[in-house]
Structure 1
Amino acid sequence: MKITRWISLFAVISLLFTTLFSVHVFAASSSSYSLQPSSSTIIAGDEFTITISGNRLMDLFGYEVNVSYDTGLLQFQGAVNSIGGFAIEPIVQQGKITFAGTKIGQAQGDSGTATLCTLRFKAVASGIADITLTSVKEINSQLMSTTQLSNTATKVTVNSVEISTPNDGVSVSGTTIVKIQDSIAVVNVEANRRSVSIPIREIGELPVSIRTGSLTINIKAELLKALKKQLGNSEGALLEVMFPPVDNINAVETVLKKNKAKVNIVGEVFDVSISLKATNGHQVIAEQVGSNVELIFSYKGNVLDAKLLGIYYINSDLTNWEYIDSIVNAQTETVTATLTHLSQYALVEYNKSFSDIPSTHWAFRTIQILAAKHIVNGVTIEEFNPNKATTRAEFTSLLVRALDLKASSFQGSSFVDVTSDAWYAKDVEAAYTTGLVNGVSKERFMPDAVMTREQMAASILRAFKWKNKQEVQPVNARDTFKDDSGISSWAREDVHMALTTGLMKGKPGNVFQPKSATSRVEAAQAIMNLLTVR
């Protein structure tokens, strides 16, 4: 009996989806069908259902419905079979839906009035949406079928919500506010919202700025173009951006406090995702976003040390929170970071101190700020060792972290004494190819040699020019220091320009000490000057 019923079930499925084989047709059906929307008027952005019911049915054991809908206004979300048994996954192509369901076992078909299925849609734009049941294939318990040409239709009015905003002419779809401002599609979202769906046709080829109470997500047009290319047919597609809060704030603090820093999570931790969803439900998710997404956190500065703020993300193995190069604007009370991939993000006030850099030390504030930016580290968790000499590799790595440089495609070192597996290899290569550092010869870098003060002057000046995209006018300075004659001829002009721009200072007693080793605290101060001098 089981074998017989499975054969029958296979036959039902075949009847529902094939026109390649002839089928038995029972007497012309007198049944009729209706479409009933859950609401005839809805708001753009909301979902609704269409219930398909039959009247004057006779032994309806299975069915196949074919429905057309307006893809410009609606997005199909799914379907539910209502006659029992099971259903086949909906087939959605160019605004047409095919959906089928069947009873199983020894059950008799439905007669009289019955609900066949329910279709679920999401309204994506305002207007009057047409939904039409074009045909129904009916199968009885004897596995005979007939097709009813229906053309039963219903209409759903999709309205936009108008929000009163003084003199700005804002048009709103659902709960998303979209307006074009300075060639940017700006979407304002209520503070309690954690996601937004935007019809891609309302964006066009523009970048998008999604703004909430404490978070702004800026998406470049290049990323949207790439998503549309991946999706294929983007007609009627929705850009879906989600930023729900993450509950594990205590876990974030625990991870960051392992370096014995004082940590303050500012506001909520957000899990940011971006995707483009087609009308048939196919979805393309943005993962590696190639610097095409910018995140801006807002804060209230009266209770925070703004210079210690930064944006952090959880790494791929979910074990550590890592700092992203962040720009703090104390005037607008915002912190901005450019993202290369999407993850969970938090705004953190990170206050790290060292036992050998007391608050009375002349470089205390410099070390505190650079530690918050994760540019400098201690020699241990608790000690900085300010007077220890800085090596050429260590100073180069400081430069790379300060300027957020990355080797575009590291394929090995340009120097024979920098092995590819050395911790500083990529930093040295990035700085060298950018023109910030040179080797001591064409083939050698001498990474473990101390960085002399005149070498640091030359490197910090090159970094200043690169960062500010400007040249520094040469100065004609002679005998500035008592030991001026001890400055190497190749470094003399760089030393004096570093001094005049405020990147470096001399030593007590009117000396520069050009051949002396650069201490860790001097290197930190030079990096701080690089970041602050304009």
Structure 2
Amino acid sequence: MASTPKSFRDIQNQWARLFVESLANEGVITGFPNRTFRPDTSVTRAEFAVILTKTFTKLKKKRDYIRFIDVAAHHWAAKAIQTAYAIGFLNGFLNDRFFPDSRISRLEVLLTLVKGLDLALKVKPEKLATLQEIYHDTNLIPDSAITQVAIATSAGLVASYPNTKLLKPNIPATRADVAVSVYQALFFMGEVQKIPSDYLVVPPQPQTELEHASL
């Protein structure tokens, strides 16, 4: 049986506590039988698929499901993986593999949300200051992902603990990381209330023509 939010005994002083509790109240994420949430544990692709399908229940199918040879019909997350693929979030790899037990990176979480929610149609990254002004480790972001990271940042999906100047794109995303980014996606969509946090990345606002003139 999953723990209730208030009984998570390992998040009381955790930076993402309010986000975790909010999503747990909605049944999007759950804890463990020993009344813990394990916020610093990394997340697998299968686990992320489950979170996505529990969160974005209103999204319509975009494509037919392709059977992955490493996701058996009796796999505990098979249905969620099929749905997450069909609604346009998670992709597979060569040779029809999904790698359900692989750890998903912080970058992959952001790219998945940007893609699945079609944020490129809703956010204009050119209005965002260069990523070098926001993150000190932009050299770790693949060139092919720069625009999507800019979109995710502009949409408010990025949180980074304890230093918001470090994106840390290639390390495995923790359960806390995923909870915050998913919650922020819901906030961007207008479905939840704002939760203040010192660890949400707030991009600098572009200067107006009047501000430029006064320099």
Is the structural similarity TM-score above 0.5?
Answer: yes
How far apart are the structure 2 equivalents of 1:384 and 1:486?
29
Return the letter of the residue paired with 1:459: T
Q: Is the 8 A contact 1:390 1:451 kept in 2?
A: yes
1:531 aligned partner, one-letter code: L
Identity %: 26
* Equivalent residues of 1:400, 1:406 under 8 A apart: no
Among candidates 464, 467, 486, match of residue 140 of structure 2: 486
Query: Offset of 1:474 from its aligned partner?
Result: 3.3
**Which ranges of 4 or more aligned residues in structure 1 deviate by more than 3 Å?**
258-261, 405-408
Shift, 1:465, TM fit: 2.6
| 1:435-514 alignment, distance < 5 Å | 435-441=88-94, 443-465=96-118, 470-475=121-126, 477-479=130-132, 480-507=134-161, 508=163, 510-514=165-169
SS in 1 for 2:117: helix
Counterpart-to-counterpart distance in 2, 1:378 and 1:446: 23
TM-score between the two structures when normalised by the length of structure 1: 0.32
**Conserved in 2, the CA contact under 8 Å of 1:386 and 1:520?**
yes
- CA shift, 1:432, in A, is 1.1
Indicate conservation of the 8 Å contact 1:353/1:368, yes or no.
Answer: no
Deviation string 1:326-376 (CA, Å, 9 cap, x unpaired) is xxxxxxxxxxxxxxxxxxxxxxxxx54301011x43222211111111110
Quick one: which of 34, 45, 61 aligns to 1:392? 45
User: What displacement does 1:518 show?
Assistant: 0.1
1:488–1:379 distance in 2 versus 1, CA, 3 Å: farther
Structure 2 residue identity aligned to 1:474: P
Partner of 1:354: 8
Paired with 1:478 and 1:470, the residues of 2 have a C-alpha distance of 20
The answer to whether residue 184 in structure 2 is matched with residue 529 in structure 1 is: yes
Task: Assess if the C-alpha contact under 8 Å between 1:432 and 1:438 holds in 2.
Answer: yes
Contact 2:39 2:176 in 1 (8 A): yes
Q: How many equivalent pairs are there?
A: 183
Alpha-carbon distance in 2 for matches of 1:489, 1:356? 37
Deviations 1:156-184 (A, max 9, x none): xxxxxxxxxxxxxxxxxxxxxxxxxxxxx
Deviation at 1:446, TM superposition (A): 1.2
Indicate the SS of the match to 2:184.
Answer: helix
Aligned partner of 2:68 in structure 1 is: 415
Secondary structure, aligned partner of 2:156: coil
Partner of 2:171: 516
Please give the alpha-carbon distance, in whole angstroms, between the structure 2 residues aligned to 1:352 and 1:388.
19
Q: CA deviation at 1:458?
A: 0.4
Gaps of 5+ in 1: 1-257, 262-350
Deviation of the 1:440 alpha carbon: 3.4
- Larger CA Rg, structure 1 vs 2: 1
Verify: 1:402 aligned to 2:55, yes or no.
Answer: yes
Task: State the Cα distance separating 1:380 from its structure 2 match.
Answer: 2.8
Match of residue 5 from structure 1: none
Q: What letter is aligned with 1:383?
A: T
Amino acid at match of 1:446: F
* Higher relative contact order structure (alpha carbons within 8 Å, sequence separation ≥ 6): 2
CA contact (8 A) 1:399 1:463 kept: no
CA contact (8 A) 1:400 1:427 kept: yes
**Distance in 1 between the 2:24 and 2:83 partners?**
22
Deviation, 1:533, is 1.6
Secondary structure in structure 2 of the residue aligned to 1:416 = coil
Give, in whole Å, the separation in 2 of the partners of 1:365 and 1:509: 18
Give the superposition deviation at 1:414: 2.4
Partner Cα separation in structure 2 for residue 361 and residue 501 of structure 1:
24
Task: Tell me the amino acid that sits aligned with residue 524 of structure 1.
Answer: A
Task: Report the residue type matching 2:88 in the other structure.
Answer: G
Write the letter of the residue equivalent to 2:148. Answer: D
Contact 2:38 2:175 in 1 (8 A): yes
Per-residue deviation, 1:497: 0.9
* Distance in structure 2 (CA, Å) of the matches to 1:472 and 1:432: 23
CA contact (8 A) 2:104 2:173 kept: yes
**SS where residue 147 of structure 2 aligns?**
helix
The amino acid across from 2:11 in the alignment is I
* Residue range with higher mean Cα deviation, 514-523 or 420-429: 420-429
Which ranges of structure 2 fall in alignment gaps of 5 or more residues?
190-215
Q: Which residue of 2 aligns with 1:89?
A: none
Letter in 2 for 1:520: R
Aligned-partner Cα distance in 1 for 2:165–2:33: 34
**SS at structure 2 position matched to 1:495:** helix
**Which of the pair is proportionally richer in helix?**
2
For 1:436 and 1:533, the matched residues in 2 are separated by: 17
> 2:50 touches 2:77 (CA, 8 Å); kept in 1?
yes
Task: Note the C-alpha offset of 1:405.
Answer: 5.8
What residue number does 1:428 align with? Answer: 81
Q: TM-score, normalised by structure 2?
A: 0.74
